[in-house]
Amino acid sequence: MKSQRTWSVGGALLLGVVFGASSAEAHNWGCWRQPDRTVRTYNTGSRRTEASAAINEWSSKTILNLPLQSSHTDISVFDGNYGNTGWGGLASIESYSGCTILHGHARVNLYYGGTSNAIRGIFCQEVGHLFGLTHSNDGGCMGGGYYYPIGTFPGYTVVSHNVSDIQSKYSGTPALTADAEDPEGQPRVHATWLDRPQTLVEALRLSQAVVIARVANVSDGADLVVPVQGIENDEDRIPTQRIRFQVMRHLAGRGPRTFELFHTGNADFVIDEAPLYEAGETYVLFLRAREDGSYRLISPEGRFKVTEAGLEPAAHEGFAGHMRGLSLSGIVTDITEIRRHSR
């Protein structure tokens, strides 16, 4: 689907198009699924009311049975201040067999605050990911923050399309069936990003700088460590990397000729739409500054790898996904024209 509000620059890109997936199709996260319809949950979040409301949505509206437990179990639901990461929530598959999820974590990053409904919506989405669902443009929590605000009704709730996705995925399926797909190489972490721009114009508005830059080196960063009662060692640890870039050209904003990019994850913790960087690669990056002097992406829509075949966006869908194959000169022209028209 796309809106009627379109305009082009140099024929390279429809900058005002807002792309959305059809809500009629199923939205599965790869081949991931729970063993069966009974999924035990452990809610240890400080925002327990919002987490409970999200869990109850899935339990009351779908064919899933989600008994609450008093200890670390199938899905652990919690929150904490993870800092200025760019994401408001993460769902991670901590252990699995084939495509079957044996244990997962659904977490909310409280650094960015948010209304009660927004936090409930993030919990709802992260728990939904651990049932094997990906984002869907259907008005409910599985599309919140991706296609529309997650804190506005019904963006923090389970809607009919989510119910039918669960029905399709779990109805009549016995526990631990033989997996039809090989999960190796599939990302085992899904994020709810703070900002998901719908157009290139909006991406520029959210950025403090836009650069063409080359990866100089990749190194491990300090783990994000948050106390979480009841999980292993009573703490959640998320690995990070620091990516050193050499700037080749500033397309918007100002900044240093070299900079360090904060990246959540490593080879053992790869977030969907946030693949690893390698030295020598060249990117177009849409950046925001962090308090420690490093930078982060605005979201996956702010990362485009430059290849011989054209741009390779990190985002799967939306305006960025539809820029796949666009030439480097094409995006440079588009950004230049947007800035010229906005003056």
Domain count, the chain: 2
Q: Residue 150 and residue 122: Cα distance in Å, rounded?
A: 7
pLDDT interval class at 12 (50, 70, 90):
very low
In a shared domain, residues 162 and 204: no
- Is position 161 within any domain? yes
Q: What is the mean pLDDT of residues 189-193?
A: 95
pLDDT interval class at 313 (50, 70, 90):
very high
In a shared domain, residues 163 and 240: no
Residue after which a domain boundary falls, among 193, 208, 233: 193
- Is position 11 within any domain? no
- Is position 1 within any domain? no
Q: Is residue 55 packed enough to be buried (19+ CB in 10 Å), middle (13-18) or exposed (0-12)?
A: buried
Q: DSSP string of 61-80?
A: HSS-B--B-SSS-SEEEEEE
Q: Range of 336's domain?
A: 200-342
In a shared domain, residues 122 and 175: yes
Strands 75-80 vs 41-43: parallel, antiparallel or unpaired: parallel
CATH code, 161? 3.40.390.10
Q: What is the mean pLDDT of residues 201-225?
A: 97
- Is position 227 within any domain? yes
In a shared domain, residues 301 and 334: yes
In a shared domain, residues 149 and 233: no
Q: Residue 181 and residue 304: Cα distance in Å, rounded?
A: 29
Tell me the sheet residues that pair with 189: 92, 271
- Is position 37 within any domain? yes
CA neighbours closer than 13 Å in the CB half-sphere of residue 101: 34
Residue after which a domain boundary falls, among 193, 211, 228: 193
Tokens linked to 110 = 């409280």
What's residue 179's pLDDT? 52
- Is position 16 within any domain? no
What's residue 176's pLDDT? 46
- Name which of 111, 185, 114 is nearest 156 in CA terms: 114
- Name which of 191, 189, 190, 184 is nearest 99 in CA terms: 184
Global pTM value: 0.89
